[in-house]
Amino acid sequence: MVTLDSIALAIVSGIANGMLLFLAAVGLTLIFGVLDVLNFAHGSLYMLGAYFTYFLVSDGGLLASLPGSFWLALVVAPLLVALVGVVMERFIIRPVYDQDHEFQLLLTFGLVLVIDNGARILWGTDFRSVSPPGLIDFQINLLGSGYPFYNVFLIIVGALAALTMWLVFERTRVGKIVRASSQDRGMANALGVNVPLVFTGTFLLGSLLAGLGGALAAPYQSIQPTMGESIIIESFIIVVIGGLGSFGGAFAGALLIGVVNSLAFLYLPSLQPVIPFLLVAVVLLTRPAGLFGKEVAA
Amino acid sequence: MTAVDRLRDSRTAVLSLGAVLAMLVLPFTGILSTFHLGLVISAMVLALFAMSFNLLFGYTGMLSFGHAAYFGTGAYTLALALDGQLGFLPSAFESFFPALLLAVVVAALVALVLGYLCVQRGDIYFAILTLALSMMLYETIYTWNDFTGGSDGITVLAEPIELGGLTLNLIDTGTFYYLTLAILVVSIVFIWRLINSPYGELLLSIRENPERATMIGVPVKRYQLSAFVIAGTFAGLAGTLFAVRTFIVTPHTLHWSMSAEPVMMTLLGGPSAFVGPIIGAVMFVGLEQFLSNITEYWQFGLGLLIVPIVLFFPDGLVGILRGDSGGIVDVRDYLSGLVGDEPTGKEDTHE
Amino acid sequence: MSDPLLELDGLTKRFGELTAVDDVTRSIHEDDLTALIGPNGAGKTTIYNLMTGVLSPTSGSVRFMGEDVTDLEPHERVHRGLGRSYQVTNVFEGLSVRRNIRAPIIARSKQRWNLLGSTTEEIESETDRVLDLVGLGDIEDTECSALSYGDKRRVEIGVSLATDPNLVLLDEPTAGMNPTETERMVDLVQNLDAETEQSFFMTEHDIEIIFSIASRILVLDRGAVIADGTPEEIRQNERVQSAYLGGEA
Ligand SMILES: Nc1ncnc2c1ncn2[C@@H]1O[C@H](COP(=O)(O)OP(=O)(O)OP(=O)(O)O)[C@@H](O)[C@H]1O
Ligand SMILES: [Mg+2]
């Protein structure tokens, strides 16, 4: 039944899911904006974030016996993913910074094959799940119905992450340095900025965010090796809509896709899988440069 | 044309003729079991698929990560037509060749529509969009249960074809071998002509520098779209053969992992050579046989191969055989870079 | 005086806050070799991008040979006779010199949609003609990526000429060249201007070159034309001296 309340609830759920999409897409877009590298394997890092969380908190896991294991995992898993990301950047991606984007895509596509199939070999293809920690594992009363608080928690964490990032990039010296390096490498270098360090740092941050997204997703969706490919395709859709390299575009695009998906799931279930793609088609035909795209000339 | 060119051309002609003759007699030599003959058929089908991909990637500079959309469209259209599910069409389309023709036309039309969207924004968005839109088609077919059979797919039953007193039984491996070979050879000749035509030369200019191509009067998007449709048509053709060969068409034929196959084959063989995708298809089928004995998730091994290939040997096996890897990163530089702190491959070009 | 070849009317381009081209209204005539000069960032390349259609103007219009081309795609303007070479060498690196020159010739012939045939005699002989014109005949089979910088710039000019333009926009044809290469390039441009039907419109950093070959000079400063005249007049102009020549010394 279509009531205002049910629409409102669907929107809240959509925003919650949109925050996870944002955490994945923002790293992709950040790395593209600063390093000019499109990392196909970014979704695989998200998938690793979820698996690491699972192995840290499930029975026999490293953190399982500790109190507050989920909260610890929320810190440790993203750090582990960031480590994977940094190794990837240092040994595989760094040599191709100045190459064509196609080239980078092919290279990181090889990494997708390795990581995603590696996960299948190591961990099998069965679904895994993690339950939310007791502290936030309850229902709240939202517009007269019971609603999982975990979704609200996702919204809070996502919004905090977005706000922090925005403040760091717009208001701090570090943010200025990163933006300068993304605009003109040569100039930043001449001004004494350690550009390789900025790049590695950016890759680390992007991976960390993907890992955080995956870790937060662990209690939210079933954990399986194909999570990475789903999220990278969704992230691609988001950056087509929002414009690659645009922070605001990633945020708006992620929330838009989250909410549209959630509404479609409720009211147009048979069309739901194709709706994000239709959205892409509409954006392409009406605003070819994307919602936040900028005009570029040769 | 210089004497060297003529010599090279005649050598190519002799080699190709020899290759076709060898393929013609292959089933008679008895060195291959039916199973292995089947593998050769698979390699031929995939070679066609990969060549259609490389018409875009190697010759027009467009990296499509959604080429399975047209491959799968060809496969599904053939399956649906043979199955008599396209009731709105004359029943003639229930027999093989008309169904094949229909499938190829539908694949071309789908390529026209999706391609139109994909070429709207240049560069990196093309790869992203081809991937995204192919997955849209995948989701559609997957969800549209009543018509497409959902995840179960559709079985493909090709009735024997009566052709002027001759009966072709496509289920027979030998017969299908020759049909596939014939289609492959005709397609190769067509694609060869295409890339050596004036039109093909403009595609090369787009590959090299789309911005400049515009400024010499090439309507770049229109050329990209036309190449996309041609490539989609051949991918659809490969898809129909694939459908007959595997007896069943599932949504997997449209999935991104299917789109990844011509990418991998082209990288293995080498995108800069005309025969690269063909060689790559043979390598791919061989690697699959070899690696899938070790693990079900054999593409892990493929990934381990792809990374160093892209880094060090972007011209694939053909490049290695030519003694010119074409690599942007030299293996030795890379290894010494790991020890020292010098970043590798970061040479700035003249600006 | 003949009808103007190119007319800019109130041409303006803003990038956000920055006005890169500010209300430029000028015409270019066939008999002149017109030069556009101005300090770094004055907006010269942006004007070229507006004329060729790579960028669309914030306001104003571009007319070419009497026709309003403001809303035409870049390749359509090329077909109408507006050619362009780039400040940063921008050729088809992986193709031979011959193919670089042949591509624009194919692009303007009916052969451009010939999918399965071969190039015609006409195209080949026209290619030979342009190769001769820019003196690249003896290296026609070399791949561009293997050429010296000076030769690449000649290919750059050759590619523009091969589009058979009425007006060629040359964006700093001697950028980055050594003195010998510069001299050869200046000779080439002068010869082409004298011997062929094309007219030229060029930008250049080296003012001495401009003064020696241009018959008319436009001076651009912060997007606006601040002077327009013969080399003699420009030399005398005080505004130019303070805004540009002064800054240069
Ligand atoms: N696509 C763009 N987006 C934003 N600003 C731009 C863009 N293109 C040019 N500009 C700005 O417009 C101004 C004019 O640039 P333009 O390249 O036209 O100058 P120019 O006269 O050609 O300089 P030079 O002598 O260095 O070649 C500069 O401040 C430049 O930074
Ligand atoms: Mg300039």
Q: What is the DSSP string of A256-273?
A: HHHHHHHHHHHH-TTTGG
Instruction: Please report the pLDDT score of residue B73 as a whole number.
Output: 97
Rounded to the nearest angstrom, the distance between the alpha carbon of C84 and the centre of ligand 1 is 17
Contact residues, chain C, for A183 at CB < 8 Å: none
Q: Pick from A265, A220, A190, A187: which is nearest to A7 by CA?
A: A265
The pair of three-digit structure tokens given for residue A128, joined into one six-digit string: 């895994």
Query: Subunits touching A (CB < 8 Å, at least 3 pairs)?
Result: B, C
Query: Is A295 a domain residue?
Result: no
H-type helices in B196-254, by residue range? Answer: 198-208, 210-215, 220-246
What is the average per-residue pLDDT within C230-234? 89
Instruction: Please report the pLDDT score of residue B344 as a whole number.
Output: 42
Query: Subunits touching B (CB < 8 Å, at least 3 pairs)?
Result: A, C
Neighbours of B341 (CB within 10 A): 7
Query: Is B21 a domain residue?
Result: yes
Q: CB–CB of C54 and A297 under 8 A?
A: yes
Q: Are B71 and B253 in contact (CB under 8 A)?
A: yes
Q: How far apart are the CA of B195 and the nearest CA of chain C, in angstroms?
A: 8
Q: How many domains is chain B built from?
A: 1
Question: Residue B202 sits in which domain range?
Answer: 3-26+34-339
Residue C41: CB within 6 Å of ligand 1? yes
Residue C85: CB within 6 Å of ligand 1? no
Q: How far apart are the CA of A145 and the nearest CA of chain B, in angstroms?
A: 30
Q: State the Cα–Cα distance between residues B50 and C55, nearest whole angstrom.
A: 37
Phi and psi torsions of A138, nearest 5°: -150, 170
Contact residues, chain C, for A297 at CB < 8 Å: 46, 49, 54-55
Query: Is B211 a domain residue?
Result: yes
Relative to the CA of C39, which ligand 1 atom is closest? 25
Q: Which of C14, C46, C218 to mutate to test the pocket of ligand 1 (most atoms within 8 A of CB)?
A: C46
Q: CB–CB of C118 and B198 under 8 A?
A: yes
- Most C-contacting residue of B195, B216, B328 (CB-CB within 10 A), to test interface: B216
Q: Pick from B258, B281, B256, B252: which is nearest to B76 by CA?
A: B252
The pLDDT tens digits of the residues spanning A106-115 come to: 999 999 999 9
Residue C199: CB within 6 Å of ligand 1? no
Query: Is A125 a domain residue?
Result: yes
Instruction: Please report the pLDDT score of residue C53 as a whole number.
Output: 94
Q: CB–CB of B120 and A284 under 8 A?
A: yes
Q: State the Cα–Cα distance between residues C91 and B43, nearest whole angstrom.
A: 38
Bridge partner residues of A147 (DSSP): A140
Rounded to the nearest angstrom, the distance between the alpha carbon of C47 and the centre of ligand 1 is 9
The letter for the amino acid at C76 is E
At A28, which CATH number? 1.10.3470
Q: CB–CB of C54 and A295 under 8 A?
A: no
Residue of A nearest to C89 (CA): A298
Cα angle: A186, vertex A187, A192; to 5 degrees: 100
Residue C67 three-state SS: strand
B248, with CB counted inside 10 A (0-12, 13-18, 19+), is middle
Q: CB–CB of C116 and B198 under 8 A?
A: no
Question: What is the helix (H) or strand (E) element at residue B161, kind and residue range?
Answer: strand B161-163
The parts of chain A modelled with pLDDT lower than 50 are: 295-298
- The dihedral of CA B35, B36, B37, B41: what is its sign? positive
Q: State the Cα–Cα distance between residues B292 and C126, nearest whole angstrom.
A: 56
Per-residue pLDDT in tens (0 to 9) along chain B, 351 residues: 556 667 777 888 888 889 989 889 888 888 888 899 999 999 999 999 999 999 999 999 999 999 999 999 999 999 999 988 887 888 878 889 999 999 999 999 999 999 999 998 877 889 999 999 999 999 999 988 888 888 888 999 888 888 778 888 888 889 999 999 999 999 999 999 999 999 999 999 999 999 999 999 999 999 999 999 999 999 999 999 999 999 999 999 999 999 999 999 999 999 999 999 999 999 999 999 999 998 889 999 999 999 999 999 989 999 888 887 666 677 777 777 666 554 444 444 443
The pLDDT tens digits of the residues spanning C119-152 come to: 899 999 999 999 998 899 999 999 999 999 889 9
Return the ligand number nearest the Cα of C170.
Answer: 2
CB nearest to B215's CB, from C84, C89, C149: C84
**C19 vs B87 pLDDT, higher one:** C19
Across the B:C interface, residue pairs with CB atoms under 8 Å apart total 100
Q: Which CATH number fits domain C1-81+167-173+181-188+199-249: 3.40.50.1260, 3.40.250.10, 3.40.50.720, 3.40.50.300?
A: 3.40.50.300
Residue A298: CB within 6 Å of ligand 1? no
Q: Can you tell me the ipTM of this complex?
A: 0.90
Q: Are B46 and B64 in contact (CB under 8 A)?
A: no
The pair of three-digit structure tokens given for residue A204, joined into one six-digit string: 């680390």
Return the ligand number nearest the Cα of C220.
Answer: 1
CA atoms within 13 A on the CB side of B58: 26
Rounded to the nearest angstrom, the distance between the alpha carbon of B245 and the centre of ligand 1 is 58
Q: CB–CB of B303 and A111 under 8 A?
A: yes
Instruction: Please report the pLDDT score of residue A192 as a whole number.
Output: 79
Query: Is B344 a domain residue?
Result: no
Q: Pick from A143, A144, A157: which is nearest to A8 by CA?
A: A143
Q: Give domain limits for chain C.
A: 1-81+167-173+181-188+199-249, 88-164
Number of helices and strands in chain B (H, E) = 15, 4
Query: Subunits touching C (CB < 8 Å, at least 3 pairs)?
Result: A, B
CB nearest to C90's CB, from B197, B198, B209: B209
Q: State the Cα–Cα distance between residues B102 and A270, nearest whole angstrom.
A: 28
Q: How far apart are the CA of C108 and the nearest CA of chain B, in angstroms?
A: 7
Rounded to the nearest angstrom, the distance between the alpha carbon of C47 and the centre of ligand 2 is 9
Residue C2 three-state SS: coil
Return the ligand number nearest the Cα of C44.
Answer: 1
The pair of three-digit structure tokens given for residue A167, joined into one six-digit string: 């403040």
Q: Are A92 and B307 in contact (CB under 8 A)?
A: yes
Question: Residue A93 sits in which domain range?
Answer: 4-286
Alpha-carbon torsion, ordered A117, A123, A126, A131, to 10 deg: -120
Q: How many domains is chain A built from?
A: 1
Strand C199-203 and strand C216-221: pairing? unpaired
Residue nearest to atom 14 of ligand 1 (CA): C43
Contact residues, chain A, for B330 at CB < 8 Å: none
Q: CB neighbours of B226 closer than 8 A, spacing ≥ 6?
A: none
Residue nearest to atom 28 of ligand 1 (CA): C41
Q: CB–CB of B220 and C79 under 8 A?
A: no
Q: How far apart are the CA of A183 and the nearest CA of chain B, in angstroms?
A: 16
**Residue C1: pLDDT band with limits 50, 70, 90:** low
Residue C17: CB within 6 Å of ligand 1? no
Rounded to the nearest angstrom, the distance between the alpha carbon of C211 and the centre of ligand 2 is 19
Q: What is the DSSP string of A153-165?
A: HHHHHHHHHHHHH
Rounded to the nearest angstrom, the distance between the alpha carbon of A297 and the centre of ligand 1 is 10
Instruction: Please report the pLDDT score of residue B326 as a whole number.
Output: 65
Q: Are B252 and B234 in contact (CB under 8 A)?
A: no
The letter for the amino acid at C230 is T
CB nearest to C107's CB, from B196, B209, B218: B218
